[in-house]
Amino acid sequence: DTEVTQTPKHLVMGMTNKKSLKCEQHMGHRAMYWYKQKAKKPPELMFVYSYEKLSINESVPSRFSPECPNSSLLNLHLHALQPEDSALYLCASSQVDGREQYFGPGTRLTVT
Amino acid sequence: QQPVQSPQAVILREGEDAVINCSSSKALYSVHWYRQKHGEAPVFLMILLKGGEQKGHEKISASFNEKKQQSSLYLTASQLSYSGTYFCGTERDTDKLIFGTGTRLQVFP
């Protein structure tokens, strides 16, 4: 199984809402990632978890809060977002040590 | 810090060849190549771990010149399915993949 799943596929939220994005993989990968992608731009790294510990935070605003409950799951908690946070949020996983990353289909987020 | 890709866009007829270049201003640990079709997630193509390494994947191959901090992706005898945006991704630290600016490739019959 080489699949990374993400829910929901689409999310519309107001600036005062709290929501969560979910990501799951069952490939035994111990590194998981969150990326943000704006239209016609490359994915931008947000967070990296390695062995369920946050190893990289690319200076992401605190209104984005990642969580890794176990080795298969990755969440991204959203609170008080801004319209400019509207984007495609991609989750990925890989073996540790910089191997190929497998991406989920993404969550298209719209902040109104 | 973000790798720069050239060209920004390529239009091909089926069967034609293309080269996409990826250049970094910093020393590289490895280079990844991904293809992303419109509305879909990026899909891994290949990774190059050593300077001078060349790898192939069907009619798509790549090279990595560590000294020049460059990588090139070669697409030969292009097919309609090759259409999409190609991203290189470079690592200077383990697990920290920085994607390049992207090259949009369109293949027409």
Q: Do A103 and B95 touch (CB under 8 A)?
A: no
Q: Is A90 on the interface with B (CB under 8 A)?
A: yes
Average pLDDT of span A72-77: 97
The reply to whether A99 touches chain B by the CB within 8 Å rule is yes
Contact A98 B91 (CB under 8 A): yes
**DSSP, res B50:** S
Confidence of residue B95 (pLDDT cuts 50, 70, 90): low
pLDDT at A57: 86
pLDDT of residue A1: 63
> Is the Cβ–Cβ distance between A82 and A15 less than 8 Å?
yes
Banded model confidence at residue A80, pLDDT cuts 50, 70, 90: very high
The predicted-structure confidence for A41-66, as pLDDT tens digits, reads as follows 999 999 999 999 998 888 899 999 99
Q: State which H helix or E strand residue B95 sits in.
A: none
What SS3 class is residue A96? coil
Exposed, middle or buried by CB within 10 Å (0-12, 13-18, 19+), for B85?
Answer: buried
Quick check: A19 pLDDT over 90?
yes
- Please indicate whether, in this complex, the C-beta atoms of B41 and A106 are within 8 angstroms of each other: yes
Percentage of chain A exceeding pLDDT 90: 84
pLDDT at A98: 67
Q: Do residues A39 and A25 make contact, with C-beta atoms less than 8 angstroms apart?
A: no
A103 touches chain B (CB under 8 A): yes
| CA gap A65, A79 in Å, rounded | 8
Provide the pLDDT for residue B49: 81
Supply the DSSP string of A1-53, one letter for each residue: ---EEEE-SEEEE-TT-EEEEEEEE-S---EEEEEEE-TTS--EEEEEEETTE
The reported pLDDT for the residue numbered B16 is 97
* Minimal CA separation from B61 to chain A, in Å: 16
Question: Mind listing the pLDDT tens digit for each residue in B9-65?
Answer: 999 999 999 999 999 988 777 899 999 999 899 999 998 886 666 677 778 999 988
Which residues of chain A neighbour B96 with C-beta distances below 8 Å?
45, 48, 56
**Residue B94 pLDDT > 70:** no
pLDDT at A93 over 90: yes
Rounded Cα–Cα distance for residues A53 and B21 (Å): 35
CB contact under 8 A, B95 and A105: no
Q: Could you give the dihedral angle defined by the CA atoms of residues B42, B47, B49 and B51, in that order, rounded to the nearest 10 degrees?
A: -100
Cβ atoms of residues B20 and B3 within 8 Å = no
Strand A107-111 relative to strand A10-13, pairing: parallel
Binding-face residues of A in 30-89 toward B, CB within 8 A: 31, 33, 40-45, 48, 50, 55-56
Query: How far, in Å, are B22, B28, B47, B54, B98 from residue B66 at the CA level?
Result: 12, 7, 13, 12, 16
Cα separation, A1 vs B21, in Å, equals 32
Q: Do A43 and B95 touch (CB under 8 A)?
A: no
pLDDT value for B28: 77
